[in-house]
Amino acid sequence: MEFPEGLKYSKEHEWVLVEGNTATIGITEYAQEELGDIVYVELPEVGEKIVKDDPFGAVESVKAVSDVYAPVSGTVLEINDLLPDNPETINDDSYGDGWMIRVELSDMDDLKDLMDDEEYAEYVAQQKDEDEDEDDEEDEEEEEDKEDKEDKDK
């Protein structure tokens, strides 16, 4: 899994590329993997204001819809016009061609809450561990249960 340097990352799995006063935003490789095949992307309009931690759009797979949360506040300057007709671009190239919006930052302090690539890589590793731990715990419980049941059946 990739975690490009030079990008900032949010807990909701968005990435941010800061250039001067503007930020380009997309969702990370981990996010697109969790979502599966993306079939539709809802984006804000140019000129709209987005608010940090509020949803600014949504990403749809066949059986689910996920809100995309603003990692920073700002005004939308540009949206990726590849995405309406080719939403799968996010699956193919989440950090490059799969960018979603470009905004003018309203408060540079917003960036302080974001993680760098190493912190985010750790964060993702933790998420995966937690999932596995849950699986393991449940498996152990089941093994015990099953043994009990098999005893009863006899």
**Could you give the string, one character per residue 65-104, with x where binding to other proteins holds by CB under 8 A and - elsewhere?**
x---------------------xx----------------
Q: Is 151 in the site for other proteins (CB under 8 A)?
A: no
Q: Is 33 in the site for other proteins (CB under 8 A)?
A: no
Q: Are 1 and 124 in contact (CB under 8 A)?
A: yes
Q: Which is nearer to other proteins, 109 or 146 (CB)?
A: 146
Indicate which single residue of 45, 150, 151, 154 sits in contact with other proteins (rule: CB under 8 A).
150
**Residue 70: which residues within 8 A CB-CB, separation 6 or more?**
14, 25, 50, 51, 52, 53, 54, 55, 56
Positive or negative, the Cα torsion across 85, 91, 96, 102? positive
Determine the Cα–Cα distance for residues 144 and 20; give it in Å rounded to an integer. Answer: 58
Stretch that binds other proteins, among 10-18, 58-66, 108-116, 120-128 (CB under 8 A): 58-66
Determine the Cα–Cα distance for residues 115 and 101; give it in Å rounded to an integer. Answer: 19
- Closest approach of Cβ 11 to other proteins, in Å? 22
Q: Is 128 in the site for other proteins (CB under 8 A)?
A: no
Q: Where are the alpha helices (DSSP H) in the chain?
A: 29-35, 89-92, 117-153
Q: Which is nearer to other proteins, 92 or 109 (CB)?
A: 92
Query: Which residues make up the interface to other proteins (CB under 8 A)?
Result: 36-37, 39-40, 60-65, 87-88, 135, 138-139, 142, 146, 149-150, 153
